[in-house]
Amino acid sequence: MLNLRSRGQLVSCYIELPEGYSLEDINVSTIMLNNTVPVDLEAPISTGDYDNDIIPDLMVNFNRTEVIEFISTQHIRFGNVTITLTGSLYNGTSFEANAVITVSSLTGDVNCDGTVNFYDLVKAATAFGFREGETKWNPNANFAQPWNEIDVYDLITIVINFTE
């Protein structure tokens, strides 16, 4: 999910390779979204089991503004968008993966379902007090300054924009 009006600096992506390949073999500098947005090499890059399936994942980040600008050029304000991630291993083997994400341009639509309501407020409240980079940070809930923390101004912005 990606709210096109929320703030923050990064969009995270998690990469799992098929059996027989190692995350250490990925040439991170070759990773791109839709052949347009390069991976942010200055942002955190780490390995872990982010989806809890016992297969290691590589987390990379992309500049949030660049990702949103790319989606905006596709004239999509709400709905599903297919994102293609490409890259290569150090040995030259290329990889590609597609993911469908839901986007919304409604201010306050934290869960990107096309409405701003109590469910969005609850999602934002679970991220309350967390800063960008922390475990429970939710960039889709960041609608007001400061742009790196979910606080009372974000919650107020969501309530003001209730649509149902």
Please name which of 54, 62, 57 lies closest in space to residue 101, comparing C-alpha atoms.
62
- pLDDT of 9 reads 85
- pLDDT of 90 reads 96
* 150: amino acid identity, one letter: I
- pLDDT of 116 reads 95
131-152 mean pLDDT:
89
pLDDT at 35 over 90: yes
Residues 45 and 58 sit within 8 Å (Cβ to Cβ): yes
- pLDDT of 14 reads 92
Architecture category of domain 1-105 in CATH = Sandwich (2.60)
Helices and strands: H and E segment counts in the chain: 3, 8
pLDDT at 77 over 90: no
CATH of 108-164, one of 3.30.70.1530, 1.10.1330.10, 1.20.120.1200, 1.10.569.10: 1.10.1330.10
pLDDT at 78 over 90: no
Q: What's the token pair of residue 74?
A: 């596709």
**Residue entry with tokens 């924009």:** 161
- pLDDT of 134 reads 83
115-136 residue pLDDT tens:
999 999 999 999 999 998 788 8
What is the C-alpha R_g of the chain? 17
Q: What value does the mean pLDDT of the chain take?
A: 92
What's the predicted TM-score (pTM) here? 0.82
Q: What's the token pair of residue 113?
A: 């379902």
| CB atoms closer than 10 angstroms to residue 2 | 19
**pLDDT band at residue 152, thresholds of 50, 70 and 90?**
very high
72-91 mean pLDDT:
91
Question: Rounded to an integer, what is the distance from CA 10 to the centroid of its chain?
Answer: 7
- pLDDT of 7 reads 81
Q: How far apart are CA 65 and CA 57, in angstroms?
A: 24
Domains of the chain by residue range: 1-105, 108-164
